[in-house]
Amino acid sequence: MEDSKVIIALDFKDQEATKAFLDKFDEPLFVKVGMELFYGEGPDIIKMIKARGHKIFLDLKLHDIPHTVKQAMKNLARLDCDIVNVHASGSIAMMKAAVEGLEEGKVGDKRPLCIAVTCLTSLDQDVLDHELGIHEPLEDVVVKWANNAKMAGLDGVVCSPLESAPIHEKVGKDFITVTPGIRLAGNNVNDQKRVTTPYKARSLTSNYIVVGRSITAADDPVAAYHEVSRQFDKGEE
Ligand code: C5P
């Protein structure tokens, strides 16, 4: 069977808690390491997870001038993760520089995939209009920024499952969509405003889903992961 396209968000406070979670599994996983864990533990956390044979999406959302992002990506490339990311709002020039840095720093002949955060789901139309001065419908901004990412040579975007089909249609079928906001039926929605099930995300054309608490906070995380994978990887309702 193909590798799972379910990415588990390791939103844990430290290496110890992360290990305790990973110890429950005896299969290769695809996991996401975000700012909290990476800034707390440094590159060692990546080395520990890779030594266990898991794939990694390093979610640091870089956003700076192109030169700085290029140099930072050169360093991140050496960690040999599978996916890294930047903010699309940093400009096409910045996103191009990110890819150049990854090419220069890559281990072996394959660079990590680079994807762009379009509009954070914590932003809404009101913030765009009144704080950021962007007077366009949010959905149009997301598609425009996804297009910019494609033009810069990126491989895909992080977006809502609901934005996945319009992005595939307008930006390209092979442009990857990585979508958080996933819950198993009956789970607590927590702070996510709009959620979909793994099965629904697949039918909405998500290429990868990012799942945190539906797995990490489950009574039986291994069983929850298998249920998410059954729905998303195998397409069983
Ligand atoms: O626990 P939950 O499944 O809501 O976790 C989702 C993960 O995806 C978290 O790590 C969160 O930071 C991340 N994320 C998100 N929405 C975005 C981008 C990232 O929920 N727009």
pLDDT in tens, 21-67: 999 999 999 999 999 999 999 999 999 999 999 999 999 999 999 99
Burial class (CB in 10 A: 0-12, 13-18, 19+), 204: middle
- Res. 1 pLDDT band, cuts 50 70 90: low
Burial class (CB in 10 A: 0-12, 13-18, 19+), 52: middle
Q: Which of 19, 50, 61, 144 is catalytic?
A: 61
Atom from ligand 1 closest to the CA of residue 217: 1
The half-sphere exposure of 61 on its side-chain side, counting CA atoms within 13 A, is: 12
Check if 11 has its Cβ closer than 6 Å to any atom of ligand 1: yes
Pocket probe mutation, ligand 1, options 210, 213, 216, 228, max atoms within 8 Å of Cβ? 210
Atom from ligand 1 closest to the CA of residue 191: 4
Span from the CA of 56 to the centroid of ligand 1 (angstroms): 15
Specify the pairing of strand 113-117 against strand 83-87: parallel
Atom from ligand 1 closest to the CA of residue 11: 10
Check if 9 has its Cβ closer than 6 Å to any atom of ligand 1: yes
Alpha carbon 86 to its chain centroid, in Å, reads 10
Residue 144, both tokens = 């425009």
pLDDT in tens, 176-209: 999 999 999 888 777 777 789 999 999 999 999 9
